[in-house]
Amino acid sequence: MVQITYIIKLSIIIFFIYIGNLKSISAQENDLDTQNDTAFPENDSSATSLEEYNQPITLSGLLRNDSTYARFDKNTIQRDYFSNLLEARLILERKRIDWNFYTDMRLYRFEGGDKMGIQKAQYDKNQAKLMRAFLRYFSSIGDFTIGKLYINAGNSGIFNPFELDKSFQFSDLQYAREGFSGIEYSLPWNLNNFNLFTATGKNFKYEPVAGYNPIYGTSLQLHFLTIDAGMAMIHTDRNNNRSGLFFKGDMILGVQGSYAAHIDDKIKFQYSEANAGIDYSFYSGKITTTLLYYYNEKGARNKINYQMSAESFLKARDYILLSGVYQIDEFWNIQLPVFINIVDQSTAVIPSLTTLLSGGLSVNVQLPFFTGKTSDEFSNTRNSFTLLLRVEGKF
């Protein structure tokens, strides 16, 4: 009965997003029709540069609905699981020549679920998050940003050793992290950049799963040949400092690597964390493949020591991520990330299919499965069948 109610709600949401998008496309097509007669206007009144881009505040957003259904084995307490997470994102933005203002607010409504670990238990029934709200000022001596912002040293993306928030979601591998109150100074020159920041606030509430709160940090990134490389240091509020090196670039293949040494406030070494990877695409970019190795000395070397920690994305010491993306055509793509836990040889496979229904509206279906034994991290007894349906509309 609960499922039926959610399916009805979901259908209504999809319907409204779809209608909204049809209207949007129709409006754009009308624009095209009228534009054909007036292309190359004699007086270029179109906003094509920042000088002309001084606009009043703009509002855009996103509506996303994740429905998860899972069927468990007979031995588990609950056989069926259903949850629904609705997210509404509102983005207010204003751009000027010398400054810009950006806010990203999110509202969540979580229903159903048994909090057994499929859908992370980080959602209260209703939740509001101010992900980011900052003012950035551009000057001849550097760029200053003040407000709520997320600063990420090193290479952005999965398994970044410098990541402060180590929470992990299989259903959304590159999800945006909530920011913290702070001030950032950035001095760019050519393709290089020097960055300095200080932060306040205790944003991470979901201990011990989530991350550390930064106090201050700095990074220097330089560009040479086809490589971006740099060094970073971040001091946090938990007797932990991380400093190290990172690079990303091209050497026929795409290559990347990062190393962070964790040291305490008395400059005593705690542990190492690193990643290294390559990527390449085939058939004119239709197939993209990635191989990434992740090492975290703090992770368990034996499965009996597995525990959730704010110090590692997952529980073990070594992982390999094999990932493939197949762009079938303009509207369909298949993604196949495979996480391999090297310690217990279990795997998490998250095949997904995404289709764009119309401008801004997409549907994603995920069918994750696990291959490990009962005591393994990616245990096949966690659930025998899981289906996640994501509908996302942007406006």
Partner 1 sequence: MKKIVAIAIFLSAFPLWSETGLEIIKKVDNNQKFSTEKFQMRMIVEKGNRKMIKSFFGYGKDMGNNSFMEFTNPEDKGVKYLKLNDELWIYFPDADEVMKISGHMLRQGMMGSDISYEDMMRKETLEKSYDVKLTGTQTVNNLECFVVELNAKTAEALYEKQIIYVDKKKYVLVKIDMHARGGRLLKTLEQFNFKKIDNRYLPQYMIMKDLRRKDSKTTIEFISVQFDVKIPPGVFSKSYLKR
| Interface ranges with partner 1 (CB under 8 A) | 24-25, 28-29, 32, 35-36, 39-41, 44, 46-51, 60, 91, 93, 95, 100, 102, 104, 132, 136, 138, 143, 149-150, 152, 155-157, 174, 176, 186, 188, 190-191, 193, 226, 228, 248-250, 253-254, 279-281, 284-286, 288, 327, 329-331, 333, 356-360, 394-395
Nearer to partner 1, 95 or 303 (CB): 95
Longest dimension (CA), the chain: 74
Nearer to partner 1, 73 or 98 (CB): 98
Q: In a 3-state reduction of DSSP, which class is residue 262?
A: strand
Nearer to partner 1, 248 or 382 (CB): 248
Going by C-beta distance under 8 Å and a sequence separation of 6 or more, which residues neighbour residue 118? Answer: 68, 70, 81, 83, 382, 383, 386
Cα 342 → chain centroid: 24
Query: How many helices (H) and strands (E) would you count in the chain?
Result: 1, 20
Q: Where are the alpha helices (DSSP H) in 236-326?
A: none
Q: Least distance (Å) from partner 1 to the CB of residue 233?
A: 19
Nearer to partner 1, 300 or 321 (CB): 321
Q: Least distance (Å) from partner 1 to the CB of residue 393?
A: 9
Q: What are the backbone angles phi and psi of residue 58, rounded to the nearest 5°?
A: -115, 150
Nearer to partner 1, 174 or 307 (CB): 174
Q: Least distance (Å) from partner 1 to the CB of residue 10?
A: 20
Cα separation, 242 vs 258, whole angstroms: 12
Task: Return the bridge partners of 336, or none.
Answer: 324
Q: Quick one: tokens of 261? A: 């040494």
Nearer to partner 1, 32 or 387 (CB): 32
Q: Least distance (Å) from partner 1 to the CB of residue 251?
A: 9
Cα separation, 173 vs 194, whole angstroms: 28
User: Among candidates 356, 330, 331, which has minimal Cα distance to 18?
Assistant: 356
Q: Least distance (Å) from partner 1 to the CB of residue 225?
A: 10
Nearer to partner 1, 82 or 144 (CB): 144
User: Among candidates 170, 214, 124, 114, which has minimal Cα distance to 313?
Assistant: 170
Specify the length of the chain in residues: 395
In the chain the first and final C-alpha atoms are separated, in Å, by 32
Q: Least distance (Å) from partner 1 to the CB of residue 215?
A: 20
User: Among candidates 110, 111, 122, 116, which has minimal Cα distance to 80?
Assistant: 116
Q: Least distance (Å) from partner 1 to the CB of residue 65?
A: 16
Q: Least distance (Å) from partner 1 to the CB of residue 25?
A: 6
**Strand 192-200 relative to strand 180-189, pairing:** antiparallel
Nearer to partner 1, 49 or 75 (CB): 49
